[in-house]
Amino acid sequence: MDVLSDVIAVMRTGQPRSARVAWHAPWAQRFAPIPGAIGLQVILQGPCWLIGPDGDAVQLVAGDVVFRPHGRGHTLADSPSTSPVAPACDPGDPRLLQRYVTDTVGAPDSTSGSAPGAPGGTGGAGAPAAVTLCGGYHLDPARTHPLLNDLPELIHLPAHLGRHPELRSTVDLLAGEVAGPRLGTDAIVPALLDTLLLHILRAWLDRRPVPGTTGWAAALNDPATTAALQAMHSDPARPWTVATLAAEAGLSRAPFARRFTALVGRPPLTYLTWWRMTVAARLLRESDAPLHSVATRVGYTSEFAFANAFKRQCGTAPGRYRRSG
């Protein structure tokens, strides 16, 4: 897969969830800050407001898409002046992550009505003041791609006619699937959520970075760095060196190493090791492949050398990591 597809494939654990939730005025729901969860909101009917933890308010209208990648608290409301409902659970509760995703996306059967136990349950008669399509992901902290660390607190894609047509089409498909579940919905919704998230990230990456800036947006807009990243992601088992990666990038060794390190934030072989261990962690959790097979698939001819590298990166031995899942 390409680098951006890999980001989605490795970062989440379990199934993403989605729901269509109606809100009846006056309404305001505060969501607690939750490390290890990311959420997105699509405004199907509005307007409404998103209020950040610092009190900054952003008005949202029908068709807007917002993505909050760092699991930090926020409030959705019909007005910045409406007093919000308290978070649905105590931040110290060990079940918080699961509950946060549940609260963010609503109950599994949430559709156009207020869902029992979900954030749309504000009561009220008549047509809803707003309808949102919510999505939530669990993240595996051991496998979170550094691209996510570079994302801003809020990615807001306004509903401009003609912009991001693929994203708009995905929203329509997801909204229809959630509003009217049928045979196959349990398979379609996670795939559409992944697709929606990819389109959000594409839209963010397509905004060309200011010349001279660093980070993943700059890295993935730089052909040489992208070529080297693609090579590592496509074949992590190959015995890559800085010289062979530089050849993929079309640069000499020293300029390539400087450029890659400046943009990505770590040297090429350091990133390669991180990526290999990330792939290994996914194989350990999602397959029953023996350790020597996992080691070979990520470029280690010695199971002992692989185990040492994995423990340095992940803080635990491969076998124990697999059993802990």
**What domains can you pick out in the chain, each with its CATH number?**
3-206 (2.60.120.280), 216-324 (1.10.10.60)
pLDDT at 276: 95
pLDDT tens track for 175-229: 888 888 899 998 998 899 889 999 999 888 887 666 667 788 889 989 999 999 9
Calpha distance 124→99 (Å, rounded): 25
Beta strands in 226-274 (DSSP E): none
Q: In terms of pLDDT, which residue wins out, 115 or 312?
A: 312
Q: What is the pTM of this model?
A: 0.78
Tens of pLDDT, residue by residue over 35-52, are 777 888 899 988 999 998
When pLDDT is averaged across residues 74-98 and rounded to a whole number, the result is 64
Cis peptide before 47 (omega within 30 of 0): yes
Q: With contact defined as beta carbons under 8 Å apart, do 70 and 38 qualify? A: yes
Indicate the helix (H) or strand (E) that contains 104: helix 96-105
Between vectors from CA 174 to CA 44 and to CA 19, what angle results, nearest 5°?
70
Bridge partners of 21?
A: 132
Q: Is the pLDDT of residue 325 over 80?
A: no
Predicted pLDDT of residue 204: 86
Q: Fill in the amino acid letter for 239.
A: P
Alpha-carbon gap, residue 132 to 127, rounded angstroms: 14
152-167 pLDDT, tens per residue?
888 999 877 667 888 8
Please state, in angstroms and rounded to a whole number, the distance separating the CA atoms of residues 278 and 321: 12
Q: Which two tokens mark 238? A: 């190959």
Backbone dihedral region of 2: left (phi > 0), alpha (psi from -120 to 50 degrees) or beta? beta
CA-to-CA separations, 238 to 98, 110, 165, 231, 273, in angstroms, rounded: 38, 47, 38, 9, 12
Mean pLDDT of the chain: 82
